[in-house]
Amino acid sequence: MSKQRGKFISLEGSEGVGKTTSLNFVREYIESQGHRVVVTREPGGTPLAEDLRNILLSNRQEQVDPDAELLMMFAARSQHVNTLIKPALDNGDWVLCDRFTDATFAYQGGGRGISVDRIAEIEQWTLAGFEPDMTILLDMSVEEGMARTRKRGKPDRFETEKLDFYEKIRAAYLQRARKYSDRIKVIDAAPDIATVQASLRLALREFC
C-alpha cells in the first residue's frame, strides 16, 4: 500500500504581521489532527539555501541588482523544494513553510518592480507547477506592521526599505489573493492574537 502524500501549506505576509506566532499555532493545529509536520522557511530550509539567505538578507554597501536577488531566491528555492520539501511530502509529512513563491511575486515583483511574466517564467523553469496546497496570507496595514518590526532587533536589508516598498508588496500580495482565491486565504492580522487564531482555526478546519 502506497504512502499517502502529505500537504504543503505556506504562510505569507509582509513585515510585522506575526508570522512566527501564527506558524506555531498552525503547526500545533495540524499536529492535533494526527499529522507529522515539517516546519521550514524561505529563503532557507537547507544548508545551501540558508547560505543564500544570509547573502540575501545581509546589509551591505554594494547595491544588490534586482535580477541577481531574484535568481538567488529561486536558486535557494530549487534546492529547498528538491532536497527537503518534496521528499518530506512523499514521506507523508505535512510541510509548513514561512513564505514561498508568492513572496517572490510580492517582494521582487511588487516591491522591486520585476515583471510578473519574468518571475512566472523562472518559476515554471525551476518548479514546473509545484505550489502549496494552501497559502495563508496574514494581512495588516503597512504602518502597523512596520511599527511592530521596529520593536524587534537590528533590521535586515529588506526591513530597511521605505514604506512605499511595503505598500507595493501588500498590494501585490492582495492581488495574488484575489487571483488565486481557492488557494490563498487572507487572514486579518491586525486584531488580538485570540481573534487571529480563531480565523486561522476556521481556515484550517475547512482545509484539513
pLDDT in the model for residue 152: 63
- 109 is known to lie in a ligand binding site: no
pLDDT in the model for residue 20: 92
pLDDT in the model for residue 153: 61
| Mean pLDDT score across all residues of the chain | 92
Average pLDDT over residues 15-28: 93
In single-letter form, the type of residue at position 5 comes to R
Percent of the chain residues past pLDDT 90, beyond the cut: 79
- 15 is known to lie in a ligand binding site: yes
d(CA 194, CA 143): 22
Most confident of 15-19, 99-103, 163-167: 99-103
Q: Is residue 55 part of a domain?
A: yes
Crossing angle of helices 47-57 and 66-80, in 10° steps, is: 160
Q: For the chain, how many structural domains are there in total?
A: 1
Q: Is residue 89 part of a domain?
A: yes
Average pLDDT over residues 91-111: 97
> Which domain, by its residues, includes 45?
8-207
Q: What is the pLDDT of residues 107-165, one digit of tens each?
A: 999 999 999 999 999 999 999 999 999 999 999 998 887 777 766 666 555 656 678 89
pLDDT in the model for residue 169: 95
Q: Is residue 3 part of a domain?
A: no
- 18 is known to lie in a ligand binding site: yes
Q: Is residue 155 part of a domain?
A: yes
Strands 134-139 and 94-98 come out as unpaired
pLDDT in the model for residue 155: 57
- Residues with Cβ within 8 Å of residue 9, at least 6 apart in sequence: 26, 30, 94, 95, 96, 97, 132, 133, 134, 135, 136, 207
Give pTM, 2 decimals: 0.91
- 13 is known to lie in a ligand binding site: yes
- 168 is known to lie in a ligand binding site: no
The CA distances from residue 206 to 84, 142, 155, 185, in Å, are 27, 29, 36, 11
Q: Is residue 91 part of a domain?
A: yes
Q: Is residue 2 part of a domain?
A: no
- 19 is known to lie in a ligand binding site: yes
CATH number at residue 132: 3.40.50.300
Q: Is residue 72 part of a domain?
A: yes
Q: For 17-170, list the strands marked E by DSSP.
A: 37-41, 94-98, 134-139
d(CA 145, CA 143): 6
d(CA 182, CA 34): 24
pLDDT in the model for residue 61: 81
Strands 37-41 and 8-12 come out as unpaired
Q: What is the pLDDT of residues 40-74, one digit of tens each?
A: 999 999 999 999 999 998 888 888 899 999 999 99
Coil, strand or helix at 91? coil
Q: What is the pLDDT of residues 168-208, one digit of tens each?
A: 999 999 999 999 999 999 999 999 999 999 999 999 998 88
